[in-house]
A and B are shown apart, each in its own frame.
Chain A
Amino acid sequence: MKILILGAGQVGSTVAESLVGEANDITVVDMDGGKLQQLQSRLDLRTLTGNASHPSILEQAGIADTDMLLAVTQSDEVNMVACKLAASLYNTPTRIARIRSLDYLNRPEVFSADNFCVDFSICPEQILTDYITKLIEFPEALQVLEFAEGKASLVAVRAFEGGPLVGKPLNFLRTHMPQVEARVAAIFRKGGPIIPEGGTVVQEDDEIFFIAATDNIRSVLQEMRRMDKPSKRIMIVGGGNIGRRLAKALENDYQVKLIDHNKKSCEKLAGELANTLVLNGDGTDEKLMQQEYIGEVDVFCALTNDDENNIMSALLAKQGGARKVIALINRGAYVDLLQGGKIDIALSPAHVTIGSLLAYVRQGDVVAVHSLRRGAAEALELVAHGDRQSSKVVGRRIDEIDLPKGATIGALVRGGEQVIMGHHDTVVEAGDHVIVFITNKQTMKKVEKLFQVGIGFF
């Protein structure tokens, strides 16, 4: 597939990186030649320096025969104009734009075919905010991912002493709580994946991924570890795009304190936020933390755009007694280094946000792609189509489906309502949303192929 990416920032380069490995022709356009050079030296792609919304630049970048346009520059307006041009001048089939401003997002008609012709809009900051919000809602979880419009969820949790399941085989779960449907999709032990079977014994410190109906998350979490008190006090460091959105999302349900070092932006934030206590100071200032009772904080989020600062302030907060600390870390190497150490959750924005983008990029009926454990595993939501003749999935029991090694079917969502766990004798029907869990990224293509409908269908 020919893909044109506008903008070589955080999002643009991460997308380029994950798509380049899947045999795509990629061109990246950016104003900043330096960034492009860096990208080109690492990856096998073409780059072009220039203004991404100018038709001449787009033409040079080969928009005429591009299959998909990804407009992810810093500017909403540039992205929108590029989509409009692509649609009306060059008939580009798929146009995706990064849109941050709520002013635009709140009016979907702006993106319609009569106006700016944006097929899909994504807002990484919003995705990240939703992600953190979920983590705060379920403080025991390491990761919470939603499928089928929130009906089913995939939750990662670290097993701890005190959970009834710890030290027991997995099939104990069914006898212990027969009324709750849940399925353990994978276990990571000492960094490596284990394909779970009924007899697998859960050990302390295992990272367990399970799928359950969203309403049941809490009761399943209880099986894995002692439950914490629900979070009440949240402290956020960094009032940028993410910090601001997060404070806004949380301020009515939690007591939120927001620290930012810039006096001007503090004033702006305080004007925008109704119930958040905005503090002017350094996120690594332990005096300020003590003053604001860091020991009483339930969740501490370091969300500035400086990795080192986030790490240090998260460590300080943990030291000061914050119950759970979350740090936003851009550099992949740091994330692996820190996850599971003193910092409870090291968040890589690229991996959190890339999933929704990739879902549009991938072929077949992929609704969502979420990357787990910083990309070591992925969870896909696919729609099954066709019938027993045309499809390799529909009308078959799960144990009849020829899944590649390392892939498991976690659950099905039928009719947008009913969540069915993927047992070996469950039969897939047309229209089901199937949640597939993949521990080996190489098998992704095979799974997608499996769900494509054969020629006979048409």
Chain B
Amino acid sequence: MGRIFTVFHALGLMLVVFSAAYIMPVATAIIYDDSAMLLDFLLAMVWTLASGLLMWLLTRRHKGELSIRNGYLLVVAMWTAMPAFATLPLLLMLPGLSFTDAYFETMSGMTTTGATVLTGLDHLPPAINIWRHELNWLGGLGVIVLAVAILPLLGIGGRQLFKAETPGPMKDTALTPRIAETARNLWIVYVAITLLCIGALKWAGMNWLDAVCHAFSAMGLGGFSTHDASVGYFNSPLIEFIMIVFMLLAVVNFATHFLAWRGKSLGVYLRDAEAVASLGLILSSCLGIALFLWWQNVYSDFWVALRHASFNLVSIATSSGYASVDYAQWPIFAPLWMMFLTAIAASSGSTGGGIKMIRTLVLFKQAGREFRKLLHPAVVDPMKIGGYVVTNNIVFAVLGFISLYLMTVGALTFVLLISGLDFISAFTAVLASINNCGPGLGVVGPASNYAGLADFQKWVCTFAMLAGRLEIFTVLILFTPEFWRR
């Protein structure tokens, strides 16, 4: 069992680091002079720090290199343990809240899903709201690091595509030679864009608390809001526009942002085939849905249709999950198309969820290759993305990932159906969770939230969020007997 202890050793260290995250809500509590909250958060911080330290010290004899297998274990352990500790302030502050609900909320935060079971968000103490949104933001940060530094090492679902040493959009990046240095650079970009976003939202008329919270959840593409009515509360086209811009920034690979910033050139974005496809698809869909709504007479004015279609579509497609109107009332094509986009539109190395655009591109190109092979049996036709050749091994891994993704969506939908949910609610709840989007349709639609689900159904969704965020293979591999066999 020695290898388990190495994982615990690393996990302990991660928890010690994670306890620093409480500084932000603690500071908020001090600013708002809320002594009860201050106490709660300090308690939670001490708890987390102590548990982490204890775990770290007890296992220090097992310090050592992590094997690839332990890497899977550590990643999953991190993403289950951190939300568990993060529930502490919620449980302390809201005595009526069950652990299921609290864990759903924090998991939703850390996986940047943004689905909530809480109501009366407007009346939550500022420190709690900051904490929820900080989880979104940290989740986003974690995902970027996961994407560039950890998942490539584990080689999941053609993740090598994004690795610097293989062809793909990040090839000419070769950001920096060392992973740690790369991760640090991406953090800087992430923090810089977040600060910009806070400034822009404040300028557009939010108060500081709302600006910080919404910037956090927008950059993490989480979708938490400080208001039950989400962004609809502000009813401001300017705020919606700013959020659209920053959500679109966050849905692009942060490595591309870094390159553009370092090279001081926007041409980098055009060379990133994934960013072009992803932004192109989202923006053309905005226009299409706006025309559709206008044509269907949902909105009699085209510009109003464009405003609402753009904000809600960008929010869902980027897997954020804000709402400005109850789009579930739109003709079913529009919300379903939005749910479809959320599954595919985000770029790798962004904070978005789902299959990722690059895998979608691989899928499409593979279909094209099959046609070409039928027409020209002698053809030599390697897959190319952005001018770089993608080897067949990677194509297989990507196709494997997509089929596992579809099977997981199917299986979890059936589980929710068995538990008694209607089809649209069950299907969209699974989609919204596994893609880390947030609101679905039906009983989990934008006008309501996940509070109406039974405990079991919440656990299913919690699992879907975790699986989706960690690229499915990472989580499911722990359930295979081979993984535990020596």
Contact = CB atoms under 8 A, between A and B. Distances in A.
Interface residues of B, number: 12
B264 interface: no
B380 A267 contact: yes
A288 B380 contact: no
Contact of A280 (B372, B378, B387, B388): B378
Interface residues of A, number: 16
B381 A291 contact: no
A278 B377 contact: no
Contacts of A377: none
Given A270-B381, A270-B382, A271-B382, A279 B376 contact: yes
A280 B376 contact: no
Contacts of B376: 277, 279, 291-292
Given A291-B376, A292-B376, A278 B387 contact: no
Given A271-B389, A274-B387, A263 B377 contact: no
Contacts of B381: 270, 277-278
Contacts of A277: 372, 376, 379, 381
A420 B380 CA distance: 50
Contacts, number: 38
Contacts of A271: 382, 384, 388-389
Contact of B382 (A259, A267, A292): A267
A409 B379 CA distance: 50
A270 B382 CA distance: 6
A291 B378 contact: yes
Contacts of B379: 277-280
Contacts of A291: 376-378
Interface string B452-476: 0000000000000000000000000
A72 interface: no
A274 B379 CA distance: 14
Interface in B371-415: 372, 376-382, 384, 387-389
A281 interface: yes
Interface in A247-304: 259, 263, 266-267, 269-271, 274, 277-281, 288, 291-292
A267 B391 CA distance: 11
Which of B372, B380, B381, B382 has the most C-beta atoms of chain A within 10 angstroms of its own C-beta? Answer: B380
Contacts of A269: 380
Nearest to A258: B380
Nearest to A265: B380
A410 B388 CA distance: 49
Q: Which 7 A-B pairs have the closest CB atoms?
A: A266-B380, A271-B389, A279-B378, A281-B378, A278-B380, A280-B380, A270-B380
Interface of A: 259, 263, 266-267, 269-271, 274, 277-281, 288, 291-292
Given A259-B378, A267-B389, 16 more contacts: A263-B380, A266-B380, A269-B380, A270-B380, A270-B381, A270-B389, A271-B382, A271-B384, A271-B388, A277-B372, A277-B379, A278-B380, A279-B378, A279-B379, A280-B380, A291-B378
